[in-house]
Structure 1
């Protein structure tokens, strides 16, 4: 167990318990083609309603034009650390099918695909951090995202670097105790707010 392993009420797979979202990335690390394709394949094989696969991903490696455009769309707080990641991936959902009819749950399905990419990163010994702090309109304009598609999140992927490399405020977040809402306040049965009658 690493110091960042989640303290769970029941055993879960180490891939889930050990996954966390750092902000300190190794700015010297580069992502090889084999690793990159592995991440993309993990996302590609996610489940979706009617197998519609409403997700699209804008993928930039550090230093290339796509990376820089995605980085520019991030809020300053996220730019302050995400610039050191090896990869920035913008997850985009197709909201309507070709005839204009709304897709069934495109955000949900795109979230599943993104989660699979994140878990595959961890399986490869990398780390990933998902962000909602970005300017969707700026991203849409700079990377030519067409109408009917909505940018949902940006994921930074890379190799972990020491927390000490971060500014003090970010360092505090990096080393803070990992927490989640208790099971009894999250999972209900019978009626809303009634805890599920299970014991770990």
Structure 2
């Protein structure tokens, strides 16, 4: 039996210490604590093969009925496609994302063709499934020594028109990918936020038998 190819390659980029520690309430693999979404990037070039590796991980996300509603439109920094995606970002997000190595627009198809049917029907879980694909992308990037930051602040109407996205598809987020850099490259207002976030305790989001949450 052949052995699987290793899933990631260690980064050769100098390590920048994290400003805050994360702790899990229960034992989990460190990859889930190590992954976070910085804004400070180095501007280092990202080659197409590496980017496609991240998207390959996204391709294998779980999907109801194996519909796979996710779609990705990507652009590497310095290529003609870059400006089209970059211009859809809000001014605030442009102020840091210009140092990213790649941008990826994540889109989900709203409808699907159920077995035995002849017409498309609404897919209630298209956004849910596509979120799982984004998570796979982000984890593979982190395991490979890169970082991914999903951006909700962009002009969806402009993205739709600029990229010829059909009405049946929903632009969800734009993902900025890059190597983590020094926070000093960020606008002053963003520097204080350049650290891994914590999470609500598990007891605040998970309960047995009923919904007791506010």
- Asked if these proteins are the same fold (TM beyond 0.5), I'd say yes
Q: Select 1:10's aligned residue among 1, 26, 30.
A: 26
Q: Select 2:60's aligned residue among 18, 25, 45.
A: 45
| SS of residue in 2 equivalent to 1:192 | coil
Number of corresponding residues = 192
Change (3 A) 1:159 1:16: same
Which ranges in structure 2 are unaligned for 5 or more consecutive residues?
1-16, 114-118
Structure 2 residue aligned with 1:198: none
Which string of whole-angstrom CA distances, capped at 9 and with x for unpartnered residues, describes residues 157-190 of structure 1?
A: 1101101111211101104x63211222111122
1:33 CA drift (Å):
2.7
Superposed structure 1 runs of 4+ greater than 4 Å apart: 1-5
TM-score (norm 2): 0.84
Alignment RMSD, CA only?
1.7
| SS of residue in 1 equivalent to 2:25 | coil
1:111 and 2:131 matched: yes
Q: How far apart, CA to CA, are the structure 2 residues paired with 1:66 and 1:150?
A: 20
Q: Select 2:152's aligned residue among 129, 132, 147.
A: 132
1:2 CA drift (Å):
4.6
| SS of residue in 2 equivalent to 1:173 | coil
- Larger mean Cα displacement after TM superposition, 81-90 or 66-75: 66-75
Q: Tell whether the 8 Å contact from 1:4 to 1:20 is kept in structure 2 after alignment.
A: no
The structure with more helix, counted as a fraction of residues:
1
After superposition, residues 21-170 of structure 1 pair within 5 angstroms as 21-27=37-43, 29-97=44-112, 99-170=119-190
Structure 2 residue aligned with 1:181: 200
Which ranges in structure 1 are unaligned for 5 or more consecutive residues?
195-200
Q: How far apart, CA to CA, are the structure 1 residues paired with 2:140 and 2:147?
A: 9
TM-score (norm 1): 0.90
Greater RCO (Cα-Cα under 8 Å, separation 6 or more): 2
Q: How far apart, CA to CA, are the structure 1 residues paired with 2:31 and 2:86?
A: 28
Q: How far apart, CA to CA, are the structure 2 residues paired with 1:5 and 1:48?
A: 33
Q: Tell whether the 8 Å contact from 2:57 to 2:137 is kept in structure 1 after alignment.
A: yes
Structure 2 residue aligned with 1:172: 192
Q: How far apart, CA to CA, are the structure 2 residues paired with 1:167 and 1:33?
A: 29
